[in-house]
Homo-oligomer: A and B are copies of this chain.
Amino acid sequence: MPRIAYFGPQGTFTEQAASAFAREDDELVPVETVPLAFAAVRSGATDFCCVPVENSVEGAVPATMDALVRDEPLVAVAEHVLPVHFSVLVRPGTAEIRTVASHPHALAQVREWLAAHLPDATPIATTSTAAAAVAVLNGDFDAAVSAPVAVTHYPLSEYATEVADVRDARTRFLLLRRPGALPEPTGADRTSVVVTTPNRVGVLAELLTELALRGINLTGLESRPTKGKLGEYRFYIDLEGHVAEPQVGDALAALHRHSREIRFLGSYPKADHEPAPMSNAEFTAATDWVDGVRKGERG
């Protein structure tokens, strides 16, 4: 029975994403921090971990970015995208809401809604959106701003659902495991790598030109200074395509030549399933021609 460690507790957005990744018999194991989720997989305690990688409600993304480059590599095999909207949960029969609790980032994302709908309630900060639901259950506070999944874990009522100040916010999650057989290419895949480069003029332009020259579309780029090494930068690069495709493999080899360190973070189906425009045929024809020339079969 495969086990999935996730950045918990139960009832958070990350648990909601982990449930979306899970098959029928998978066991979901909440752990307290993102590094512990990675450690569970590295030690073999679990088979997978589920962590937020972009715009996390509970602010775990920097921890994920750090964990992705430290210790033994883990590799993403799937991604999941959740809309960032909340349910406001109360104890059944609650008449008046004087306090409303949640993770600070969640409170920041529903400030306008609270001002309009619960202007007299005092906002209380908790360590997670799920901890707020537990505190409401315990009678500490009147309402919790929670992930929609929280209501399935706690005997609370939905005072409001789909609560969000910004309509189109999203959080992206990855399902990671130890390196092994890769997911099959689907024609709508994403590949993620993290590259450490020397800090000299033009190094990022070189990396991106290697992708552009091969017709590879960039879907995400994040730069972070490396800790402790002044003037060295780390780039997290998401691109369309699968490393099993000729031009993506060739592009990653080119990135390897330009970088001090490169780590493969996975090739996995895109959550939106939108086909990536690729020209494998042209690329294969070109390398076949060079092979033919080398063998003396072609001119």
Copies of this chain present in the complex amount to 2
A221: chain B residues at CB < 8 Å are: 204, 221, 223
Q: What 0/1 readout, one digit per residue, does chain A (11-38) give for beta carbons within 8 Å of chain B?
A: 0000000000000000000000000000
A211 on the interface (CB 8 Å rule)?
yes
- In the assembled complex, how far is the CB of residue A84 from the closest CB belonging to chain B, in whole angstroms? 13
Contact check: which of B107, B124, B202, B209 meets A211 at CB < 8 Å? B202
A216: chain B residues at CB < 8 Å are: 201
A105 on the interface (CB 8 Å rule)?
yes
| A205 in contact with B208 (CB, 8 Å) | yes
Q: Looking at chain A, what size class is its interface with the partner chain?
A: 20 to 34
- In the assembled complex, how far is the CB of residue A136 from the closest CB belonging to chain B, in whole angstroms? 14
A226: chain B residues at CB < 8 Å are: none
Alpha-carbon distance between A216 and B200 when the two chains are bound, in angstroms: 10
A161 on the interface (CB 8 Å rule)?
no
A217 on the interface (CB 8 Å rule)?
yes
A201: chain B residues at CB < 8 Å are: 211-212, 215-218, 277
A104 on the interface (CB 8 Å rule)?
yes
A206 on the interface (CB 8 Å rule)?
yes
A213: chain B residues at CB < 8 Å are: 202
Contacts A104-B105, A201-B218 supplied; 5 other A-B pairs, CB < 8 Å: A104-B104, A104-B108, A201-B277, A208-B208, A209-B209
